[in-house]
Amino acid sequence: MTSNKTNNVISLHAVKKRYGNETVVSDVSFDIQSGECVVLVGHNGAGKTTLMKLMLGLTRPSSGEVNVLGANPAVSSAIAQHKTLGYLPESVAFYEAMTGREVLAFYARLKEASTVDCDNLLDVVGLAHAAKRRVGTYSKGMRQRLGLAQAMLGNPQLLFLDEPTTGLDPILRQQFYQLIDALHKEGATSVISSHALNEVEARANRFIIMKAGNMIASGTLDELYQLAALPVRLKVSVTPGQTANVAERLGSATNISEINDQVLNLTCINGEKMPLIRRITELGEVVNDLQIMPPKLDEVYSHFMNNHRTDGGQP
């Protein structure tokens, strides 16, 4: 995928990370442009968190180059102290004797952000009622929400969120992503690691699929559809009792996966989709409805995970 390097806020080139004899990230290269939402997906141990630590400068690559905001994050104090950067680790930990409000005010001072925003953020993440309680009394989900609040301080322009909605109920998850969406509209860039594929499917500009430290696929959802070459599903609703007639008119070459009294489920490869749709519309009033269902992100993800070996062999 061609990118405009002048707009890149993050660039990785041939990055490897080893711990002793174990390689946890192997020859990974990608660029992230300003304003993008890029999601890292992969099983535990795939290298997602290590990639985030490399981009944050919390660890150095064994080889290759990492560039964030125009500098090497591992050697530039400007990156580590950048006031417009937000980070939420997968496992958050706070000083338990402090209250939620005190924790957020502490981070606000570190980032030179307004403490006026603290109460608003506590309300946004559903902790207004617990603002004066000690963090030691918080549940895991409450601590995660407090972590979200500190990551959002100062309207950050570059966000690193590692499994950000762990421990949140569906309503709070939705509220969190609404906040992220608002930041993107203002030009923020985000890198999100997530197992919740259904949450990020419609929000991400691009996906990077990791397996055993290797980047096995990268692209927009449409690009990944094309690479995976998974079938498109079509659901055709017809006049009751007419499915056999419709199937005959569509022809024996049409792949009908299921049929009942008034519904035909069809599949086709992406390149055959439009000709098939035209044939269906030519059937006339016997067709009551047509639903087109492209592969979901979890199907695309499963395809790449099951059809790629990191040792160079065939699956």
Parse the chain into domains and list their residue ranges.
5-84+155-226, 231-294
The residues facing 10 across adjacent strands are 32, 68
Query: 5-84+155-226 is classed in which CATH architecture?
Result: 3-Layer(aba) Sandwich (3.40)
Cα separation, 12 vs 28, whole angstroms: 7
Mean pLDDT of 273-282: 93
What local confidence, expressed as pLDDT, does residue 291 receive?
95
Higher pLDDT, 37 or 157: 37
Lowest mean pLDDT among 27-41, 177-191, 222-236, 278-292: 177-191
154 vs 109: CA distance, rounded Å:
10
**Residue 161: pLDDT band with limits 50, 70, 90:** very high
Count of C-beta atoms within a 10 Å radius of residue 63: 10
Whole-prediction pTM:
0.83
Contact call for residues 52 and 73 (beta carbons, < 8 A): no
Quick one: pLDDT at residue 5? 55
pLDDT given for residue 3 in this prediction: 47
Q: What is the pLDDT of residue 2?
A: 43
255-259, strands of its sheet edge to edge: 255-259, 263-268, 232-238, 287-293
Q: Where are the alpha helices (DSSP H) in the chain?
A: 48-56, 77-80, 100-110, 116-124, 140-152, 170-185, 197-200, 221-228, 243-250, 273-281, 297-306
Question: Residue 303 — pLDDT band, cuts 50, 70, 90?
Answer: very high
pLDDT value of residue 314: 46
Q: Which helix (H) or strand (E) holds 217?
A: strand 214-219
The CATH number of domain 231-294 is 3.40.50.2000: no
Average pLDDT, the chain: 88
What number of other Cβ atoms are within 10 A of residue 291's Cβ? Answer: 11
Helix (H, G, I), strand (E, B) or coil at 178: helix
The C-alpha atoms of residue 6 and residue 33 are separated, in whole angstroms, by 9
How high is the pLDDT of residue 1? 44
